[in-house]
Amino acid sequence: MHWLSVLVQTPAHSAVAGPLTYQSELPLAAGSLVRVPFGTREVLGVVWDALDAASLDRPESEIRAISAVLEGVAPLTVAWRQLVHFAASYYQRSLGEVALAALPPQLRDLSAAQLARRLKRPAGGAVDSTLTTPDLIALSEEQVRAIARFDAEAGPFLLFGATGSGKTEVYLRCVQALLERDATAQALVMVPEINLTPQLEARFRARFAGRYGEAAVVSLHSGMTNPQRLKSWLAAHSGVARIVLGTRMAVLASLPRLRLIVVDEEHDPSYKQQEGARYSARDLAVYRGRLEGAKVLLGSATPSLESWHHSRPAAEGGRYQRLEMPSRIGLGSVLPKVRLVDMSLQPKKTVFSPQLLQAITERVARGEQAMVFLNRRGYAPVLACSSCDWKSECPHCSAYRVFHKIDRTLRCHHCGFTERVPRACPSCGNVDIAPLGRGTERLEEHLAEMLAGVRRPNSVSVQWPEGAPLRIARIDADTTRLKGALESQLAQVHAGEVDVLVGTQMIAKGHDFRAITLVAAVNPDGALFSADFRAPERLFSLLMQAAGRAGRDAAQSAASEMWIQTLHPQHPMFAALRRHDYPAFAAGQLREREQAGLPPFSYAALVRAEARTQAVAQGFLNAASAAAAAMEPALAGYAQVTLFPAVPMTIQRIANVERAQMLIESPSRAALQRFLSAWHAVLQATRQQPEGRGLIRWAVDVDPLAI
């Protein structure tokens, strides 16, 4: 009989958080996938290690046997298991939770017999001779230099390239060189959002499917069906897939011959998981590259301040190599001119300044396209009564329900609670209830009213009657709910069937709109004075990315513009934005953070607690902090960390659950990690005390993005 240490999926706060012991008649290699009994269920497990009889923690007669081995799936590699172990340890989660969450959901549900039948299906790896490899475009001098340095140096690399500078072509060339050099090598290319995956996948398929086969390029993201995810995962795990394109979940995919990792738009907050194991896919990509000897290429026009800081000269302590491509592709291509409109000089309640409306009208008259950006969906963020203090508050959350005019509903964007718009004020009966503020739905309606008299010119490429009204389209989470809706709407924009595009950040990054020459940000001031120290960084990045959608066609780039309507045109951030000077903006932000002792000059973690009352949530956190102070000499790392008092979260109640948080800071990453590891047992014990009664859950968020 053989004794095995097996991981199953258990949450970090569970009493059963480590590997479990099972017996097997046959020896199994570490990394093998098995089905094991767990309570009254049978679940998927990963063999983590072999045990000897002397190390068993209970009598042999009490140890259950594994139910089946998943034949036909090679054991997960040592490097993959090391990656999972690091992620679980660093982000303070259980090994089983991280390991099993990294596997496709359908694999967790299939029995051994069902998986055997699934593996008999053809993989489709044959090369299609009808597919052709497109001719390669000529590279710019900056692209050539970046690729040469990438080939010659070890990395990791930060590719700092302006929007439209050809970063995607650099990714393609680096992947192509790898596949030509190594017949078995695999590459992982990550993007921040699902809606960016199809267009990137199309470019990679066009470049590589003709030479390596359709199955050589696969996608991995949560928008796929479970069978699709299983098929892609098996192709990557077996080595059939040479290129894997995916979102943050793909960083934990099994790629046994991984030699290159590309993280596009590495600054994007979407790379940070916000549920379960709160890992940063960007940071794990860098660690995985070092672990597996794979080169790592991070790319962005507005890098995160952490990556920018790490890419400073090696003499100053930098760990990344910075590759720069400041120019746009194409003869005469320039970045759009940034124009600021001082809204304090406009009449009150002005939404679109006359100057901006005139600029949009001129673009449409020339057959060009414009884009209007507002990062708030819905018709209005709140519905209010003019006679009393009633507002459309959510009864289950400490937030307002958003008014959606298209279906006459009030919808909470946090818990999903939806009701029809009342005919009169529920508090006083007044029928005069009106929307306050604007979302993209209201912005689209208002823009249509303001431009009602504008007519579109005749077009050769798109058939419409000359003098027809211009067409305004809106792209946000509400208009793209149905499968295929986003692709259809983007195709209309690319085909020239849309004159003015209105949307949220979904349209502000990653898309290659060739006819858009004007981008307008209507109300970006909210983040300028936010309590979150990362808000200016996120706003600058979003506005730079939005500006990058304009003038991507070299013939029109000289006339492209980015309009920003603001009440604070003298703000230093806008001065850097007008010059497209990210280095100056980053230098200023880093100086402020160093003076304040904020990341990347310190390290932080948040402990979040959820309960039915705020008193219980905060009481649990404060009790755990007091317990740590009481045992200070024995608690590793305590002397080098600062624990702040528990406070409610910004939105303190969601779905009738109260939420509180406690911030922990340290100048030493190692000390913070030592403390969190030692404090875990204290948190577990505190939950069993009176202070922990009524607690629903707690979780640790290491390197949080929002504080």
Task: State the binding site.
Answer: 385, 388, 394, 397, 412, 415, 425, 428
CA distance 533 to 543: 17
Q: Do residues 209 and 128 lie in contact, with contact meaning Cβ atoms separated by under 8 Å?
A: yes
Residue 681, Cβ density class (10 Å: 0-12 exposed, 13-18 middle, ≥19 buried): exposed
502: nearest Cα among 525, 470, 534: 470
What stretches of 128-247 show up as alpha helix (H) in DSSP? 141-152, 167-181, 197-212, 226-238
CA distance 89 to 98: 10
Q: Which two tokens stand for residue 549?
A: 């959608």
Residues belonging to the binding site for Zn(2+) are 385, 388, 394, 397, 412, 415, 425, 428
140: nearest Cα among 163, 170, 160: 170
State which amino acid sits at residue 26. Answer: L
Longest CA–CA span in the chain (Å) reads: 87
State which amino acid sits at residue 699. Answer: A
| Cβ neighbour number for residue 137 with a 10 Å cutoff | 11
3-class DSSP state of 477 = coil
363: nearest Cα among 581, 551, 108: 551
Q: Angle CA(65)–CA(67)–CA(70) in degrees, nearest 5?
A: 125
Dihedral of alpha carbons 69, 72, 77, 80, sign: negative
Q: Do residues 220 and 194 lie in contact, with contact meaning Cβ atoms separated by under 8 Å?
A: no
Which residues are registered as beta bridge partners of 244? 188, 218
Q: Do residues 450 and 431 lie in contact, with contact meaning Cβ atoms separated by under 8 Å?
A: no
